[in-house]
Amino acid sequence: MEKTLVILKPSCVQRALIGEVISRFEKKGLRLAGMKMIQLTDAVLNEHYAHLKDKPFFQRIKNSMRVCPVIVQCWEGIDAAKVVRSLIGITDGRGAAAGTIRGDFSMSAQENIVHASDSAESAGIELTRFFAKDEIFDYKLSTLAHLCASEEI
């Protein structure tokens, strides 16, 4: 099973949408493998958003991500990164499809509720940035047989 990173951003925390967002992933059939609340540091944000460091909005993103603690999560499932990206919708909440997390709860490209790894490869890097090995748990969902065909598991 594939693992992926999800960060519930300050816009999610401040708007009290934590449970609503988590329930979307659970209802889809993903398994929560790790979760914790952390206050992001400048050093972690510089590393996490290094690909945006030359963009004019880089500092604004970092400021936004430090407004309050965030909830970092590890979700697991078949094609987890792809499934999560589909559930959250496109970056700009104004253009995200209704029914997606961003489409239902965001009016912004920045204050867009959630960050998610864009691929399984990115997830591997990002998960090690936010979780120690002993903070990600392996257990079997009792509902797994009702979520996927046996040959998919």
pLDDT tens track for 23-33: 999 999 999 99
Catalytic residue, candidates 48, 51, 115, 146: 115
According to the 3-state scheme, what is the secondary structure of the chain? CEEEEEEECHHHHHCCCHHHHHHHHHHHCCEEEEEEEECCCHHHHHHHCHHHCCCCCHHHHHHHHCCCCEEEEEEEECCHHHHHHHHHCCCCCCCCCCCCHHHHHCCCCCCCCEEECCCHHHHHHHHHHHCCHHHCCCCCCCCHHHHCCHHHC
Residues in the chain: 153
| Summary mean pLDDT of the chain | 96
| Domain containing residue 69: CATH number | 3.30.70.141
Separation between Cα atoms, residue 67 and residue 137, nearest integer Å: 29
- What percent of the chain has pLDDT above 90? 90
> Does 135 score more than 90 pLDDT?
yes
- What percent of the chain has pLDDT above 70? 100
For residue 133, what are its two tokens? 């090995």
What digits encode the pLDDT tens for the residues 85-132?
999 999 999 999 999 999 999 999 999 999 999 999 999 999 999 999
Count of domains for the chain:
1
- Domain of 56 in residue numbering reads as 2-152
Q: Mark whether 115 is an active-site residue.
A: yes
Write down the pLDDT at residue 84. 98
Write down the pLDDT at residue 153. 78
pTM assigned to the model:
0.94
Confidence of residue 144 (pLDDT cuts 50, 70, 90): confident
